[in-house]
Amino acid sequence: MYKRLGWRSFCFKNGVRILVILLSFFVLLWVTDARPVPLTVKDISLMLRTGYSNEAVLHELSVRHFADTCDESAKKMLTQSGASPALISALNSGNYAVPAEEAARAQEQIVAESKRRAAVAEESRKFDTLYQHQLAQKRLAAPAPQVATGNALYPLLKGDLVYWKNGTVNRFDDEALEKKKLIALYFSAHWCPPCRKFTPQLVDYYNRVAPQHPEFEIIFVSNDRSQFGFETYLKETQMPWPAIDFQKIANKAAINQYEGKGIPDLVLLDSSGKVVSDTYAGKEYLGPQKVLADLDQIFAGGGRVAQGQ
């Protein structure tokens, strides 16, 4: 909050400074000569380009007069700016020319006006440069955005994975999981007949493709009703992939949110945790084979698969 108010204060103070400078110049001009500065070709051209009508310009000429020459280059500039033949003719006629006795004074006014404009422009440039510098400093001071690295699921699984080896459940070395680009969560259970039928197919698939695609992994998320059922399932199917420790599953809400209404349920996620392919399309059960087909397409170089959720 302090920094934000300081920045606003900086903008406000400098804005007031510019306003004071502008007012000072106008007051100085008014004190020096209350009479309006005569018009030049550039002044008239600018007036026409900014929307003044030819009649309005003629009116200004009647008040301020003309202290310039209307040669061929001037006529061309005025014509391109929208000057009518009548306006150009009026300038050529000399009717609006500054009286000879005031010509020198008029030139002094024009020079003074030119200097005033240059000074205001320079002050504005300085202010803009200062503003840009302050803005650049503010951007440099801002912390760089954090770029996500690794796999988004890794922090949710770290230290809580096991696998079946040598006839028992062992801790799984999950360090390599951080670099995986595709992780399939396999929601299944030993008590589920369709699961026991599909799991051997998934084991065969994994053993075939995993060695060729180290960026891919499967994580078993058990729906078993006991530690015994969990370990029996690992043993009977010889699951080659890691599983979430049965005692930790209940606390894995961030993982369980991917599960559909029934099992077996296979959900393929990319490294950001986004669903790439799913057993379900909304509430419709498509079956885990659909995910394997999508994986084959990805591994064949077909890129990501459109999600039908």
Long-range contacts of 136-145 (CB under 8 A, 24+ apart): 138/7
pLDDT beneath 50: ranges in the chain: 1-14, 25-33, 147, 306, 308-309
Number of domains the chain is built from: 2
Whether residue 64 sits in one domain with residue 203: no
Report how far residue 114's alpha carbon sits from residue 110's, in angstroms, rounded to the nearest whole number: 6
Amino acid identity, position 149: T
pLDDT recorded at residue 39: 86
Whether residue 38 sits in one domain with residue 87: yes
Token code pair at residue 94:
């000399």
Q: Are strands 243-244 and 265-270 parallel, antiparallel or unpaired?
A: unpaired
Cis geometry, peptide bond prior to residue 200 (ω within 30 degrees of 0): no
Whether residue 126 sits in one domain with residue 265: no
pLDDT recorded at residue 32: 45
Whether residue 239 sits in one domain with residue 127: no
Per the structure, the complete domain to which residue 42 belongs is given by 2-141
**Residue 254 falls inside a structural domain:** yes
**Residue 118 falls inside a structural domain:** yes
Buried b (16+ CB within 10 A) or exposed e, 233-249: bbeebebebbbbbbeeb
Whether residue 165 sits in one domain with residue 135: no
Q: Which of 90, 107, 141 is the last residue of a domain?
A: 141
**Residue 146 falls inside a structural domain:** no
Whether residue 293 sits in one domain with residue 165: yes
Report how far residue 61's alpha carbon sits from residue 195's, in angstroms, rounded to the nearest whole number: 94
Whether residue 241 sits in one domain with residue 126: no
Whether residue 293 sits in one domain with residue 164: yes
Report DSSP letters for the chain, one per residue: -HHHHHHHHHHHHHHHHHHHHHHHHHHHHHHH--SPPPB-HHHHHHHHHTT--HHHHHHHHHHH-B-S---HHHHHHHHHHT--HHHHHHHHHTTTBPPGGGHHHHHHHHHHHHHHHHHHHHHHHHHHHHHHHHHHHHHHHSPPPPPP-S-TTHHHHTT-EEEEETTEEEE---GGGGG-SEEEEEEE-TT-HHHHHHHHHHHHHHHHHGGG-TTEEEEEEE--SSHHHHHHHHHHHT--S-EE-GGGGGG-HHHHTT--SSSSEEEEEETTS-EEEESEETTEE--THHHHHHHHHIIIII-PPPP--
Whether residue 204 sits in one domain with residue 131: no
pLDDT recorded at residue 19: 54
CATH at 193: 3.40.30.10
Whether residue 270 sits in one domain with residue 178: yes
**Residue 148 falls inside a structural domain:** no
Whether residue 182 sits in one domain with residue 48: no
pLDDT recorded at residue 220: 97
Q: Which of 100, 116, 141 is the last residue of a domain?
A: 141
Q: Which of 106, 141, 176 is the last residue of a domain?
A: 141
Contact in structure between 67 and 105 (CB atoms under 8 Å): no
Long-range contacts of 19-22 (CB under 8 A, 24+ apart): 21/120, 21/123, 22/120
pLDDT recorded at residue 162: 96
Whether residue 185 sits in one domain with residue 283: yes
